[in-house]
Amino acid sequence: AQKVTQAQTEISVVEKEDVTLDCVYETRDTTYYLFWYKQPPSGELVFLIRRNSFDEQNEISGRYSWNFQKSTSSFNFTITASQVVDSAVYFCALRLYNFNKFYFGSGTKLNVKP
């Protein structure tokens, strides 16, 4: 069975702090895809990143970076120098190769205070 765990229910930081959101996944499949979505207070989920299981290269996009480690089944998301606009709920998700269904984690609510 597939499962995605986001153990951090809610995190509060002060603006300009760095913050890491954890995501741990479970699957026995060898080919799969991992995703992060952002859900701001407005409610609409926004796709942030997709990662393939065979590509463990970390990715950086501006203040965002993602650390994918197959050895620990983790796909963590770091925001550097957080800003108030980063306040949102962040969801991690897993999709298996050749299947359309997504498995979502329960989300982590990030509060960035000025």
Site size toward another protein (CB under 8 A) is 23
Distance of CA 45 to the CA centre of its chain: 12
User: How many distinct helices (H) and strands (E) make up the chain?
Assistant: 0, 12
* Side-chain-side CA neighbours of residue 87 (13 Å): 12
Region of 20-28, 40-48, 56-64, 72-80 interacting with another protein (CB under 8 A) = 40-48
Residues 80-109 that bind another protein (CB under 8 A): 91, 95, 97-102, 104-107
Residue 44 vs 57, nearer CB to another protein? 44
Residue 18 Cβ vs another protein, minimum distance, rounded to whole Å: 25
Residue 15 vs 104, nearer CB to another protein? 104
Q: Contact at 8 Å (CB) between 35 and 49?
A: yes
Q: Which positions lie near another protein, rule CB under 8 A?
A: 33, 35, 37, 42-47, 50, 52, 91, 95, 97-102, 104-107
